[in-house]
Amino acid sequence: MHDTLIPVFDLGGVFVDWNPMYLFRKLFPNEEEAQWFWDNICTRDWNLEFDAGDIFAEGVAKLITRYPRYWREIQAFDLRWKETIGEFIPGTIAIHDELIANEVPTFAITNFSWEKWVSCLGEWPFLEKFDGVVVSGLEGLVKPDPRLYRVFCERYALAPEMCVFIDDSEPNVIAARKFGMHSIHFQGDTKALRKELIGLGLPLKAK
């Protein structure tokens, strides 16, 4: 294998736009109520428990016991989870396809419920193109926990400094950098991402 850095991608916010508000806006009459629900009931921390391996049906049932009046909306987070997904991010998918065409192995480390990950396989064609994926829900660890990066490196026999990690979350990027990986904080600009990867020696066309 040549000495090119190995690209390791996050998925949500990098390949696909994920935002529970897309669903919550359909469940509530106005933006304020939808936002309140995301901030106070089906929260980011609660969602992270699924990313750490909790079973959706169980997590939903437990939350409904705390907020029975919201049982319909809480249950919708499981049953209508696909509606939390927005558009694919075509620029990242194009970069990924180009790397594959140039025979660069690609990987992913994602905070993702293992149940929802499996349910997306048939619908997100880029997933099966990775040479390997570490899914937080299967490991019981979530980014930015450095142990998740260690699991990745050990599983695929890669030294951290051989990898370039791309994530839209700054804490995850900082943790990867501390772990020894080259890291890029992706903020939605796929042209800038392409430029940074070219700067690190990856075989991509300048656009």
Query: Which sequence spans correspond to the domains of the chain?
Result: 6-17+87-199, 19-84
**Angle of CA points 80, 82, 87, to nearest 5°:** 140
Joined tokens for residue 29: 């009459």
Which residues of the chain are under the pLDDT cut of 70? 1-2
pTM metric for this prediction: 0.94
**Does the CA dihedral 132-194-146-51 come out positive or negative?**
negative
The answer to whether domain 6-17+87-199 has CATH 3.40.640.10 is: no
pLDDT at 118: 94
CB 132 within 8 A of CB 138: no
pLDDT at 207: 81
- Quick count: other Cβ atoms within 10 Å of Cβ 48? 15
pLDDT at 1: 44
